[in-house]
Amino acid sequence: MKIKSTVLLATLVVSAAAQAQTAAPAPAKAPAPDFTLSYNAGLVTDYRYRGISQTRLLPAVQGGADFAHKSGLYLGAWGSTIKWIKDNSTTANPVKGPVELDIYGGYKFSAGDVGVDVGALRYQYLSNTLEKTGGSGVYSNANTTELYAAASYSVATLKASYSTTNLFGNLNSKGSLYYDLAANFDLGSGFTLTPHVGRQIVANSPALSYTDYSVSLAKDLGQGFSMSLMAVSTNAKPAGYTWGGKEVGKAGVVIGAKYSF
């Protein structure tokens, strides 16, 4: 009986091994798609761009869409409510422009260990009449076009932007530059820490040039939801950055919530 049991056990082991060797291979992973299309919508307690509040320190509604091709080409559009254009109104010369729409496109690729991103960005302030501020001769139309290039290595990214038009309505400001240095640290458990420093140089207007600083903590909540907390400050001079009675470059804290799908 012992001999028969041993033979039977050996037969079963060999048979199981043979089945394992001849079993169908695991299904191959699906190939990466040629392109992706994603959307996002969110709320912030204050829309800060390059450290300056675009909403007079008040909340904003935001959203966008992005198309990315596996070749590295991408296109996108993003919008936000704003207040800074209307805040330049006077009783005699009311101006408008309640929405910012950014349209951008570019190409991403790698050069060894360095990631490179080059592209163009158009800031379109819908129906804006900023050039009517003060009657005329104070601002140009707010719409702005910039070219940009960025290089990323490890956790750090350095980016430079160059305006090919007047910058956000400032007269004779074509050729303005913005330099941006940021790092992205994965803290685990869905948390990301992002310190940033930037320098805005407004061509022919040194009094409007400034440096901005921020540090952001974001939390991925899953299912496309995320939240963020940002501390931000600038050394922008109040004389050039006070709108609607508010100093829009002063230090502050911004809370944001976003849904991506």
Using one digit for the tens of pLDDT, what is the confidence trace for 173-212? 999 999 999 999 999 999 999 999 999 999 999 999 999 9
pTM: 0.87
pLDDT surpassing 80 at residue 10: no
Assess contact for 195 and 208: CB atoms under 8 A. Answer: no
pLDDT surpassing 80 at residue 70: yes
- Residues paired with 152 in a beta bridge: 115, 157
Annotated domain spans of the chain: 34-260
Which pair of tokens denotes residue 2? 């012992």
Q: Considering the chain, what percentage of its residues have pLDDT values greater than 70?
A: 89
DSSP code at position 45: S
Specify the 3-state DSSP secondary structure of 20.
helix
Domain at 34-260, CATH class: mainly beta
pLDDT surpassing 50 at residue 16: no
Rounded Cα distance, 170 and 81, in Å: 20
Q: How confident is the prediction for the chain on average, in pLDDT?
A: 91
